[in-house]
Amino acid sequence: MIRVAIVEDDERIRKVVGDVLASAKDCQCVGAFADGTTAVANLPLLAPDVILMDINLPDLSGVECVARISTQLSGVEIIMLTVYQDPVTIFRALAAGAHGYLVKPVMPRKLITAIREIRAGGVPMSPGIAREVVDFFRLKRNPPATGADLEDVRLGPREHQVLKFVVDGLSYKEIAAELGITSNTVATYVRRIYEKLHVGSRREIIAYCKDSGENRRI
């Protein structure tokens, strides 16, 4: 029996996920928490095998919870179950100790498969997340362009706007509000910017702009 805990502030989602776990013969929900503080305090006592972790919690972020729990439960497997799919959040979660990353909504069958997969030593990820990870390591082998290559980069007007907001530290949601577009559209622009500038994170974008003088142009 795989012991699973849920950390999710949305009551409806907690119930749905709990029902999905109850429907699986080899899974048992041992705890469900609406905030990070309570989860961090109680999860070591429950000793789950797998934790399904949201990111946007009302107190501690899911990433911070992962970092704290990983030091207390060395054998636990943590799957991020969240709507966030920007590269910065993905890699912060993985660096903190997450072992898988699924983007909501997730079909019940896929969720149970992911739990079984991670217990078998796998790394369950939504397709788009897996691509981000692959691109990250590809970029590590092919370092970001520098100022000498700037003339070969052609960003459109909207991409320049998005780039400026990213460098300023705005979230996808905040950028979407500023430009009157959706967060998914912002994510698409950011992905294109990453590809054109050959970077894999917000940190690399800022470093690129600093090195190339691009921030003086946006």
Q: Pull the structure tokens for residue 177.
A: 């509000």
Tell me the pLDDT band of 151, cut-offs 50, 70 and 90: very low
- 51-81 confidence digits (pLDDT tens): 999 998 988 899 999 999 988 887 899 999 9
Range of the structural domain that residue 187 is part of: 143-216
Residue 132 lies in a domain: no
Residues 146 and 155: their CA atoms lie apart, in Å, by: 15
- 84-120 confidence digits (pLDDT tens): 877 778 888 888 889 899 989 899 999 999 999 999 8
Task: Give the least confident one: 14-28, 75-89, 185-199.
Answer: 185-199
Q: Mark whether 89 and 12 lie in a shared domain.
A: yes
Q: Mark whether 121 and 186 lie in a shared domain.
A: no
Residue 137 lies in a domain: no
Q: Mark whether 64 and 152 lie in a shared domain.
A: no
Q: Mark whether 77 and 110 lie in a shared domain.
A: yes
Residue 134 lies in a domain: no
Residues 200 and 195: their CA atoms lie apart, in Å, by: 8
Residue 188 lies in a domain: yes
Q: Pull the structure tokens for residue 22.
A: 């109850």
Q: Is the pLDDT of residue 173 over 60?
A: yes
Q: Mark whether 209 and 173 lie in a shared domain.
A: yes
Residue 56 lies in a domain: yes
Q: Mark whether 159 and 208 lie in a shared domain.
A: yes
Residue 131 lies in a domain: no
User: Which of 101, 126, 151 is the last residue in one of the domains?
Assistant: 126
More confident call, 98 vs 131 = 98
Three-class SS of residue 210? Answer: helix
Sort 74 into a burial class: Cβ within 10 Å, 0-12 / 13-18 / 19+: exposed
Q: Is the pLDDT of residue 154 over 60?
A: yes
Residues 117 and 129: their CA atoms lie apart, in Å, by: 16
Closest CA relative to residue 29, chosen from 11, 44, 50, 13: 50
What CATH number is attached to the domain comprising 161? 1.10.10.10
The answer to pTM > 0.75 is no
Residue 138 lies in a domain: no
Q: Mark whether 180 and 122 lie in a shared domain.
A: no
Query: What is the mean pLDDT of the segment spanning 131-138?
Result: 65
Rounded percentage of the chain residues whose pLDDT exceeds 90: 39
Tally of structural domains, the chain: 2
What's the chain's average pLDDT?
A: 82
Give the range with max mean pLDDT: 45-49, 147-151, 160-164: 45-49
Residue 168 lies in a domain: yes
Query: What is the mean pLDDT of the segment spanning 159-178?
Result: 86
Q: Mark whether 14 and 120 lie in a shared domain.
A: yes
Three-class SS of residue 128? Answer: helix
Q: Mark whether 91 and 152 lie in a shared domain.
A: no
